[in-house]
Structure 1
């Protein structure tokens, strides 16, 4: 579609490509472990710091705001400077320090400040990581590679391991120790990234081709729809992370340990979906997968609201409903990068992710918390239901962009 690309002779071996994707996925997983730690520790933090549901929502809103602003700024700066590896390393070290600071907080405002700083540190990591993957990984494996980088580590560690590890630590030693534990691993991955990854090769393109402006990218329907879907599904995720642990313990009456492994089911689902969902879209197309999995998300809040049988069956409902998490790298990076000039990959990822975080991640948890204070915690689950239905409706308008599917359709008349 576009002549801008990385010369295939500059790409490293398949083994190195796999190492880049795996290491960046691990690093983003540790980042999400830090980001989600407060959500899983909230049943312990809320009574200790005497927090209202509105204040609980404000923590997610604050982190999402600075995450979004950071993603918008850092992705653009990285594209202009052509420097990516140092950005990822510095950001990784910074969010580890912010996790430690969260454990030191003794009031609502101290913890709020720590979350604001954490969002600023973390927001630029994924846009720049996606840019590195576009430069290093062969195009035919790009969808799955982006899915693994964004979703595998983040969900196995941030949604899967985090509740299983942090809840027992908080129950035994205290919630502050949970934050200290979350701070350590990123220091290791920062060092490994610095010493084992190269600065990716610069993209090469036809010198006669004019420079592409960001405003031109937003003339494409896919970019606009992906930004709207980002708002809706980021809202779905942050509302679930912020309020589902409280709903399961305070409304459904589950023990914190049971809540922990039910929430861990989401991490297992998204970890598998991180490569399965994008791989399916590589084969059959982005659009049908976006539509199907967005609507599938309705079963999670409905299960939480109405299913009263075995917790194991509830876990299965959670597992299936959370499959929409596999869509995130597709609408945040893959579809926009396939629809417009790939030189804008980091910038567009930052814009789409930033739009979702600002309009969805900032406003929705505050709204959900306010509704929960008035109508009860079940209001947050009804909000989740509406969000995924709207996302599915928006996905109906996407233009297919998967290279294999587009190529098949181009050759079909012949």
Structure 2
């Protein structure tokens, strides 16, 4: 019974968080078309990415902690899925930069709690031997499949045949369907385990942000997130425009290369956490972060698209690391009653620094020093986490004694 629900929850949360990134990345893929009509620049793209990351950061940190105080997180997850779907659809009605900025910022508010709530539900429902793999599928593979594999060709086809506004408008449909699935099939185990008759005591003993930051792994993951979000947001925001304007690839070639990022995202998204279940979280973080630092530089120096595509497939490994520092390691390190708080804190600070500040800086740097500078900024964003990961405490059950593994809540 437990395994059956674990798999069902994994499938639903994968769809949910995958669609979060389908919406988030849509503007990056459509920006070459949007910018022509609305007369936007690279700096505008950086500000739009930064605005979503800022509100995502603040919402994830605050609403993630708030969800830990509630007896049930399920209604909150349903609400945020509906909200970001509606706001994404409304992006198709904008008339200029300011209205687009408003909707992107509001989308960040709606999306912020999605990851902390989803991963806290999954951490409680997962068997220890599958925890890293399950979290990797939700945090890495699902967003890669829906956001970066299916997203580019579908969005570019819709935009070129029906207009970019239509591509945004139809996004409300899958979001409503996912909200219905959550309502029908997701259970909130904490309402029976962590809460129950001891609900008030659980609330009183929940650690604060300051207490969580005294945990070395949580503190390191916060810093790692700042740099890794720089790697991810910079490359994913600017790569489509870089490939078209700087490398002079066609929109179709660009979408194929971005799909390679997506295929790598899907594969490495579960391969890296799965490997970490066997060799440990720490060595996996170091090895695959070093590989990820190479990926953005390939876009600058590889001479043609045919050579670039397979190399990107092999080196875009960082999204698998995201699962480890943003979900698995803190979930295995923090107090069980504060998992969503810890995950929200890591994601929030990471989005604030790496997601909000970095794209704006990269956009202005690109306008002043040329587009290749954004890829160098992205590369640095993966190299620093490789070094910081050397100081993590190992948390993988296979690498530590059974007595030292913090027990996770079970789902009947």
TM superposition score normalised by structure 1: 0.93
> What is aligned with 1:196?
185
Cα offsets for 1:112-158 (capped at 9, x unmatched): 00100111111101100111112222222211111111112111001
> Size of the alignment, in residue pairs?
399
- 1:82 alignment partner, one of 71, 78, 87: 71
Contact 2:152 2:258 in 1 (8 A): yes
Q: CA deviation at 1:204?
A: 4.3
> What is aligned with 1:222?
217
Contact 2:194 2:337 in 1 (8 A): no
Contact 1:34 1:183 in 2 (8 A): no
Secondary structure, counterpart of 1:83 in structure 2: coil
Task: Give ranges in structure 2 of 5+ residues lacking alignment.
Answer: 406-412
CA distance in 1, matches of 2:39, 2:146: 29
Secondary structure, counterpart of 1:213 in structure 2: coil
CA distance in 2, matches of 1:295, 1:22: 30
Q: CA deviation at 1:295?
A: 0.7
Secondary structure, counterpart of 2:401 in structure 1: helix
Q: CA deviation at 1:404?
A: 1.5
CA distance in 1, matches of 2:214, 2:240: 40
Contact 2:71 2:190 in 1 (8 A): no
Q: Quick check: 1:272 aligned with 2:261?
A: no
**1:205-216 to 2 correspondence within 5 Å?**
211-214=205-208, 215-216=210-211
> What is aligned with 1:263?
258
CA distance in 2, matches of 1:150, 1:320: 19
Please tell me the root mean square deviation across aligned C-alpha atoms, in Å: 1.9
CA distance in 1, matches of 2:139, 2:392: 21
CA distance in 1, matches of 2:133, 2:336: 17
CA distance in 2, matches of 1:282, 1:265: 26
CA distance in 2, matches of 1:358, 1:52: 22
CA distance in 1, matches of 2:393, 2:67: 28
Contact 1:130 1:146 in 2 (8 A): yes
Q: CA deviation at 1:74?
A: 1.4
Q: Quick check: 1:386 aligned with 2:380?
A: yes
Q: CA deviation at 1:257?
A: 0.7
> What is aligned with 2:27?
38
> What is aligned with 1:61?
50
- 1:132 alignment partner, one of 121, 135, 142: 121
Secondary structure, counterpart of 2:170 in structure 1: helix
Q: Quick check: 1:294 aligned with 2:282?
A: no
Secondary structure, counterpart of 2:248 in structure 1: coil
> What is aligned with 1:28?
17
- 4+ long deviations beyond 4 Å: 207-210, 408-411
**1:4-403 to 2 correspondence within 5 Å?**
12-202=1-191, 203-204=193-194, 211-214=205-208, 215-309=210-304, 311-403=305-397
Q: CA deviation at 1:212?
A: 4.4
Contact 2:229 2:381 in 1 (8 A): no
Contact 2:230 2:354 in 1 (8 A): yes
Contact 2:126 2:134 in 1 (8 A): yes
TM superposition score normalised by structure 2: 0.93
Task: Give ranges in structure 1 of 5+ residues lacking alignment.
Answer: 1-11
CA distance in 2, matches of 1:88, 1:199: 11
CA distance in 2, matches of 1:243, 1:267: 15
Contact 1:37 1:182 in 2 (8 A): no
Contact 1:299 1:317 in 2 (8 A): no
